[in-house]
Amino acid sequence: MGELRRRYGFWGTVGSYRLRDLWAPEFLFGPLIGGTIGLALVRYACELNRINLAGDYLALSGALLGVVFGGFALVIAFLSDSYLRDLERTSEGVVSFLRPFMFSTGLQAGVLLGVIAYRAAGHLVPPWVEGTGFVVISILFAIALLDIVALARTVMLHGVARGRAIVKGEPNNDS
């Protein structure tokens, strides 16, 4: 079981990505958007306002984690037998389709943990630590939000692939 956990868990998923996979819009614009917002608020807003805004991050991240995990479960539950066979014939198999869901779930969970830690300790640490923490969680939050769009893109691409297979008249042996 430990081998499967290492191979298909969050860190196994992160380890399987290549550096070029990070040249996606969410990984380019997330730090830009989150960093800009975070730095502006460190400069122009008080600590209390940042901690309160982190509460909004917390609420949204929790909801997004539920949506991503629920979507992950639904996608797995409703994959047809024929489409699973088609995916398994690809070079990386079914895991290449499911990997973005695992990444997004882990990212959302990480944002939740980071925001909880920030809110718990933000007023206890020196101002430069609090400010740095706020910028970091702002960047992670922005990446996580944009990653939802990337996940939707992945699902859409697979929907298009399934539609093309149906149009070609490939037999559907769904159970």
- Convert the pLDDT of each residue in 34-59 to its tens digit: 999 999 999 999 999 999 999 999 99
Q: Is 0.85 topped by the overall pTM?
A: no
Are 174 and 80 a contacting pair, CB within 8 Å?
yes
Q: Please tell me the predicted confidence (pLDDT) of residue 15.
A: 67
Over residues 17-34, the pLDDT tens digits come to: 776 766 788 888 999 999
User: Which ranges in the chain belong to alpha helices (H)?
Assistant: 2-8, 10-16, 25-44, 47-78, 81-88, 94-121, 127-167
Is residue 88 scored above 70 in pLDDT?
yes
Number of Cβ within 10 Å of residue 57's Cβ equals: 24
Q: What is the pLDDT of residue 18?
A: 72
**Residue bearing the bigger pLDDT, 103 or 22:** 103
